[in-house]
Structures are given as structure tokens and as C-alpha cells.
Amino acid sequence: MTTDAQPTARRLPVTDLSLVVLIGTSGSGKSTFARRHFKPTEVVSSDFCRGLVADDENDQSASADAFDVLHYIVGKRLAAGRLTVVDATNVQPEARKQLIALAREHHVLPIAIVLDVPAEVCAERNRTRPDRQLPKHVIPRQQRELRRSLRGLEREGFRKVHVLHGVAAVESAEIVPEKRYNDLRHLTGPFDIVGDIHGCRAELETLLVRLGWTLTRDAEGRPVDAVHPEGRTAVFVGDLVDRGPDTPGVLRLVMGMVEAGHAICVPGNHENKLGRWMDGRKVTVAYGLQESIDQLAAEPEEFRARVREFMRGLVSHYLLDGGALVVCHAGLPEKYHGRNSGRVRSHALYGDTTGETDEYGLPVRYPWAEEYRGKALVVYGHTPVPTASFVNNTICLDTGCVFGGSMTALRYPEREVVSVPAEREWYAPVRPMHTDAPGAREGRPLDLGDVAGRRIVETAHHGRVSIREENAAAALEVMSRFALDPRLLAYLPPTMAPSATSRRDGYLEHPEEAFHAYRHDGVRQVVCEEKHMGSRAVVLVARDGSALDKRFGLSGPGAIWTRTGRAFLNDEELTAAVLDRVRAAAERAGLFEELATGWLLLDAELMPWSLKAAELLRRQYAAVGAAAGAALPEVLAALEQAGGRGLDVAELTARQRQRAADAEAFTEAYRRYCWPTEGLSGIRLAPFQVLAAEGANLAVQPHDRHLAWIDRMVAADDPAAPILRHTGRLLVDTEDEASVAAGIAWWEELTAAGGEGMVVKPLASLARGQNGQVIQPGVKVRGREYLRIIYGPDYTQYLDQLRQRFLGHKRSLALREYALGLEALDRLAGNEPLWRVHEPVFAVLALESEPVDPRL
């Protein structure tokens, strides 16, 4: 407790995340003090809450409801991690008890600031307030209650108590913000995070050297510090001591690194227990503690005193890298990050258990990581696992070195796991080296809460993307009933906007608008790619049967799916046959080896269109063609007879002949997309982009590199019965008139030969405009005859009306879906948990429910 009589009285330390409780009689100046030292949003006043529920801040009959509101607001602020100040008299223990309970519930420090102002001053201030006239007995009673409270505030649970005696002390006080001990968010790394050591000094030395550290030794050759030439910082997750052969050697090295500023360390449960034993407290000597006791007994008292001081100063967990990284010993749910309480420290040291014991008599750990959904990466140890692997943005680095396993470190932010084997089994484990902590599998990978309701998805290239609740519900219906196993759905392709509407006579779309738009955005080099006459397909192909197991948790050849995540082919044998051909071509082309991967994710077109859309063709397009073919000849015959009788039907006959020609052109157009297939015979796959490989988002690579990879695959396909199809392309310089003219001529040649059209893309793939914003990743320019399928047989007669189409929403949708797709691939490459990858993938499907003209 500090008072104004002490030199530090005017400086009041207040932790940045805490509950500050102002205590003082009416008229002591609490509201004025709060306004002077805290933000208006940080202060929750009982008077204000009384006004909320009664329209009168002085209506004492509303106090019960007012304090219900106050406690609710305080709880919400603390849950959100906000400093909160309670402006009320708080002179009664019952009032303070509820606030301390709120602080404990949300694991923040309760701090009391007492304004001990003379009763006569308070009375005078109340007399000068026309809106508040208190009975004479109120202030003396509050003063008595305050006096009785002063000595017991710390016993009630306040971690800090500041008492200001008198008006001068109140007016001269200064609030000094303090960071929490666990708040090291200003340290951004890079870090080398080391798992449990347990006295294995030799392995620790080997691991540090493997990580690039240079050891410093004392005169006796013992390591006492280590420095990394690239300025990296080591982080130790605890359990430095017990069981192993050289606990003092480990402590000497780690303490030296911490003291030199080259490392930070959190305590493990073994440090906690050893520290209590060294402080003379009663503990049960078990689980390797005796080894540490015996080894430290041979060290000088000066060293043991240094160890005691080191252990007393360890903080339960740390927030690092702006809060993106949390390091602790036994793991920590998101609600505990950055908080301070006995419960938080206990969980950080020991974790949580189910209350059961296993066949070895050891507690069964609660699998908190399987339910973790936090944004911060949590790195921990405590429970040995055979190998370190990421589970829901967490990773356990205890790989049982002392039990004969290995010692493991995580390089951050690279997310690279580095291990060295144990020199021997130093301590026999109570149970075999298996894990009850999460391993390579995510126990409950997806949850309804991950996707339901209105959501906002953060993307690196387009900021926040909002998903409406009704769109999420529609996507959930599709995903849950029709989609593939979500573990495989690492990507859904975005929709694509058409080029700006052409004003050329007879055209609705033309390449010159696409070239002009990219030139306007500062994109000089574009690639024009042939638009194939099929359906969009995403292909995940495995190099062998087990290649997908590590990342996707499934074995097999891979999968092929549609834009809505459904299996493209309902025939599993046919799917496997197609994948086998793709795999063989990629193998012969050397792509697996070049990209150092066991799988590839491809964006492609699968043909013919009738392979997937046969029912659509029959019901929609063939029906239109058949109806026109049946009706129009009879109409023309009747008109010709009428003309033969001298009736003036020449104009009407010409119009109907044009309609017949349009209908014939319409039928011819959609028939180009249909041909018979039997097994693999007739199937064609045209890959045009290699989206991802192990640890790499390749979608941001230039398009000419993608097409070169694809060309090698096509060339390596079976020449006797090829199924892979080449994608024609042409590079265009948007600032060169001759190059633009060549691009237009190429499009005209493609479409004249019956092709669908082309897609124009920035050659550099991910392109930004002059304002720094991501621009359209590609625009489609469809041919005149193909557009008959979309807009109807006689659409050319209504071009003036069709030119009024609005492209803004479609363009916005294309950009948002593109950014979400890149985000999914980034998370996939970053080895993030399935639910994190699935979040933007699901969002793409949800955006497909937004109302937009389907013809665009």
C-alpha cells in the first residue's frame, strides 16, 4: 500500500489491463479524478448507469438495476481486454467483493485507488451541487465505512492499493501506466523456441549449434552464453531441470543467455517445484527432482542463490510479436493470453486434465489444442510427443529428449521445426513414448462455430471480407450435403468478371476493352489464355498413396472438385484413372522433384462440358434448340404461303429467317461443348495454373512460369492416348498498338474457329494498380457465338439493351473471392490448421450466394 506521505505517493502505477476501483465518499472527487486521468470510454460510472435505467442519476431506488448494468459493462470490457475504471463510492465490502470477483473471473489485476478526503470537504461539495442533496448522515456513515476498509483492502484481493490522503494528494496524483510482465509484444524476433530440456545439456548444445548459435564458454570449458550471428533470440518453454544428467549445466547456459539478453524463458512445472524446494517449502521429491537436488548440491552456494533468484523471476507466459506468438510451458487457451491470475499461471505450468488417470496412474490431459481457434500461435511443451507438429495453430515442442527421444526447436516466424536426437535414454519414462496431447491429427478439425452466422475474414491482399449470415447458411447447406471431405478442400476458384461492355457494332464483349483497362491500371504485360470449352476443376494429385497424409490427413491419389466443392466425377474409378494420368505426367515432367513436394494443387478446365453439365444441356440448351427447330420451319412455310398469295409479309419473313439462323447458330454453339466419352476416352483436362505445393503458395508466381510447368506436363502425357490439353496463349504489350492488334486478331481467330474466347491476365499474376489496390486477376472476353448460349439465340438483336448490364458487383465479387483464395493458399503453405484454411474457402462458397447476374 502506498500513501501520500511516501515519496511515491503522487505516482500511481496502474497495469495496462486491470480493473481500477475508485473508493471514496460522495463528493471526494472520484468522477473528476477519473476524467482527468482516464479515457471517457474506460470509466464506468454508477451514476451514469443509474441514469440509463431511470433517467435520473440520483434516483437511489434504481441502484440495484444500475449496478447490474455496471457489472455487465465491466465484464464485457474485461473480457475484451480493456482497462476499466469503476467510478462509484465502493466503501462497502459487499460492493467491492463483486468487482474483485469480476476481475478474477476475467483474470485481470484489481487495483484500488482510495480518495480519502475530509468529510467537511465532501459535504461542502455536495451542498454546492443543486442536483444532489444528501441527508446529513450519509457522508459520516460512508467515512466510517471507508475507515474500516482501509486496512483490509489487500486481504480482500486487491493486488495494488493506492491511498491518497487529502485534497492536495488527490489533485497532485499522477497515473503511471505499467505493462504487464508477460507483455513482450514489442519483441518481434526472429526466435528459436526450444522445447523441454530436462538436464540434457549436451543435446541442448548440439541443437543450438544446429540452429546457428555460437557458444561462449568459461575458463572451465562450460557453456555460459550463446549468440546468434543473425541476432535471433532464443525462447525456452521451461522444464530445464530434473531427470537428466546435467541440470546445473543447462541452468548455467540458459541463465547466461537470459542475463545477456540473448534469450527469454518461461517456467515449467519442474522449475516451479524445484524453486519451492530451494526456498525451503515442503514438496514431494519425485519425477526426477532428486537428480536436480543431488547435482545442485555439488555447486557453490553462490550458484544456487543465482538459480533461486532466476526461478523467482520467471513469468508464466509471454506475448510476443505483437501478440501473434504466445509461449508457455503447458499450453494456454486464448482467453488466458496476456492475463494474470493464479488460474492462468496454473494452466501455463500444468495444463488441464480431464480428472481421469490412465493405466499408468498419470493424469489424462485435456486436449485443449484440438479446440483452439485463436489467432496467436501457441508454442508449448510439457507432455512428450513423438514428433512436433502443428495442431490448430499450436505446437508442442516436448519430444522427450530425456526419455531417449529428441530435443526440438521451432524457428519463428519461419515455422521450421529442427530436432536433434538424444544421446541416450537418460531417464526411463513411466509410460511409453506416446502422446495424449494432440499429435499430427487435428482431433475435431471443424466446428459449426467456425462458419455459422455473419463473419469477417481477414485477408492479406484485400483486407476484411464480410460474409452475410444468409450466405453462410446457404454455403453450409452445400458444404454439409454435397461437398467432398473438407480436409481436401484447400481451395475454391473465384468467379471471373467479363471485360467492360463493348460499343463495337455487333459485339457485346471485345478484347480492346480488356487491354485498355489493364493499360489504365498501369499493367503493361498481359497474357491472353485460350478459354477452354469445359467446366472449372480443381485437381489435387498425390505423388504416391501416402503423400497427402501428412498435410491433409487422408491417403489416396487425390481428388477433383468443382467450383462448389463437389466431386467432379461421381465415378471413383474414373477419378482415380484421371489422377493417375496427371500424376504420371507430372512425375515424368519432374515437377514433384523440382518443387520438392509430394502433391500438387492445379487449377484446370475439364472437358467436355457435357461431362458435368449433361442435364443442364438437355433441359435448358437442347430444349431451346429443339423447340426452335420444330417451330420455325413451319412458321417460315406459312409465311412463304402467305407471301405467295400476295400478302405483304416480307419484313416478318426476314425476321423469322434471321431467328431460324440464330437458332441454328445457337444449337451449333452448344454442340461444340458436347462429345461422347467412355472411360478416359474423350476426356480432356487443360491445367492452366499450379496453385500450390508443399509449403508453397505458387498462385502468386508469374503466369508464364505456370504455363511452362503445364507445357512440360502436357508434353510428358501419354502420346498414344493423351488427356492433357495445351492452353494456347499470347503475350500482349498493352502500350504497343501492334501487339494489341495481334491480341485482337488472335481472339478473332479463336472465336471464328468455334472457340469460347480468352482470358486476359496480368503476366505478373498478383498485380496492383496505381493506388496500391489489387486489380482484377483476369477478365474473360467471350466470343459472339458463345454468348448466344448465355444470352439466347437472338441476343444480337438486343445489344443496345444488353449493353446496360452493370459489372460493378461482379467485379467486386471476383476481387473478394480472389483474395480469399490467395488467403487459403497462404494458410495452406504456412502449415496453418485446417479450420484456418477452411475459413476463406468456405467464404468463397458463401459469396457465390450473393445475387449477381448469372450471365456475367
Q: What is the pLDDT of residues 753-805, one digit of tens each?
A: 888 899 999 999 888 887 888 999 999 999 988 888 788 788 888 888 889 88
pLDDT at 389: 82
Number of neighbouring beta carbons within 10 Å of residue 31: 15
- Interatomic CA distance for residues 512 and 744, integer angstroms: 7
Among the listed residues 200, 226, 774, the one whose alpha carbon sits nearest the alpha carbon of residue 460: 774
Distances (CA, A) of 142 to 117, 133, 179, 576, 641: 11, 15, 34, 81, 110
Res 74 pLDDT > 60: yes
Long-range contacts of 676-681 (CB under 8 A, 24+ apart): 677/608, 677/611, 679/574, 679/577, 680/574, 680/577, 680/578, 680/581, 680/721, 680/723, 681/721
Q: Which residues contact 467 (CB under 8 A, 6 or more apart)?
A: 454, 455, 456, 457, 843, 846, 847
Residue 538 CA neighbour count, 13 Å, CB half: 23
| Phi and psi, residue 419, nearest 5° | -130, 150
pLDDT at 518: 95
pLDDT at 376: 94
pLDDT at 443: 43
Could you tell me the pLDDT band of residue 363, with boundaries at 50, 70 and 90? confident
- Interatomic CA distance for residues 509 and 504, integer angstroms: 9
Distances (CA, A) of 31 to 37, 45, 131, 172, 702: 10, 8, 15, 15, 62
Residue 19 near residue 135 (C-beta atoms within 8 A): no
Stated length of the chain: 856
| Phi and psi, residue 493, nearest 5° | -70, 150
Res 465 pLDDT > 70: yes
- Interatomic CA distance for residues 71 and 66, integer angstroms: 9
Run of H or E residues at 815: helix 808-829
Give 766 or 306, the one with higher predicted confidence.
Answer: 306
Could you tell me the pLDDT band of residue 437, with boundaries at 50, 70 and 90? very low
Res 632 pLDDT > 80: no
Res 434 pLDDT > 60: no
Res 618 pLDDT > 80: no
Cis before 190? omega within 30: yes
Cell of 455: 463473419
Rg for the chain (alpha carbons), in Å? 36
pLDDT at 442: 47
Number of neighbouring beta carbons within 10 Å of residue 460: 10
The pLDDT of 341-365, averaged and rounded, is 81
pLDDT at 615: 56
The pLDDT of 221-244, averaged and rounded, is 96
Could you tell me the pLDDT band of residue 326, with boundaries at 50, 70 and 90? very high
Residue 601 near residue 683 (C-beta atoms within 8 A): no
Tens of pLDDT, residue by residue over 525-535, are: 999 999 988 88
Ranges 208-212, 528-532, 606-610, 624-628: which has the least confidence: 624-628
Could you tell me the pLDDT band of residue 617, with boundaries at 50, 70 and 90? low
Distances (CA, A) of 337 to 178, 323, 836: 17, 9, 19
Cell of 633: 420451319
Long-range contacts of 571-575 (CB under 8 A, 24+ apart): 574/679, 574/680
pLDDT at 798: 84
Residue 585 near residue 724 (C-beta atoms within 8 A): yes
The pLDDT of 291-301, averaged and rounded, is 94
Q: Across all residues in the chain, what is the average pLDDT?
A: 89
- Interatomic CA distance for residues 522 and 764, integer angstroms: 12
Res 616 pLDDT > 70: no
Q: Which residues contact 654 (CB under 8 A, 6 or more apart)?
A: none
Residue 781 near residue 768 (C-beta atoms within 8 A): no
Res 438 pLDDT > 50: no
Cell of 609: 462440358
pLDDT at 432: 67
Res 151 pLDDT > 50: yes
Number of neighbouring beta carbons within 10 Å of residue 126: 16
Could you tell me the pLDDT band of residue 15, with boundaries at 50, 70 and 90? very high
Res 308 pLDDT > 60: yes
pLDDT at 646: 77
Whole-structure pTM value = 0.68
How is 824-851 classified by DSSP, letter by letter? HHHHHHTT--HHHHHHHHHHHHHHTTS-
Residue 774 near residue 814 (C-beta atoms within 8 A): no
Number of neighbouring beta carbons within 10 Å of residue 398: 29
Give 672 or 734, the one with higher predicted confidence.
Answer: 734
How is 255-294 classified by DSSP, letter by letter? HHHHHTTSEEE---HHHHHHHHHHTT------TTHHHHHH
Res 676 pLDDT > 80: no
Residue 24 near residue 114 (C-beta atoms within 8 A): yes
Amino acid at 144: R
pLDDT at 8: 47
pLDDT at 628: 67
Could you tell me the pLDDT band of residue 670, with boundaries at 50, 70 and 90? low
pLDDT at 439: 41
Could you tell me the pLDDT band of residue 630, with boundaries at 50, 70 and 90? low
- Using CA atoms of 457, 460, 464, 469 in order, give the dihedral in degrees to the nearest 10: -20
Cell 400478302 belongs to: 647
Ranges 12-26, 352-366, 419-433, 493-507: which has the least confidence: 352-366
- Interatomic CA distance for residues 306 and 293, integer angstroms: 15
Name, of 358-362, 697-701, 848-852, the range with top average pLDDT. Answer: 697-701
Cell of 853: 447476374
Res 285 pLDDT > 60: yes
- Interatomic CA distance for residues 839 and 447, integer angstroms: 11
Alpha carbon of residue 696 to chain centroid: 17
Tens of pLDDT, residue by residue over 84-98, are: 999 999 999 999 999
Q: 3-class DSSP state for residue 743?
A: helix
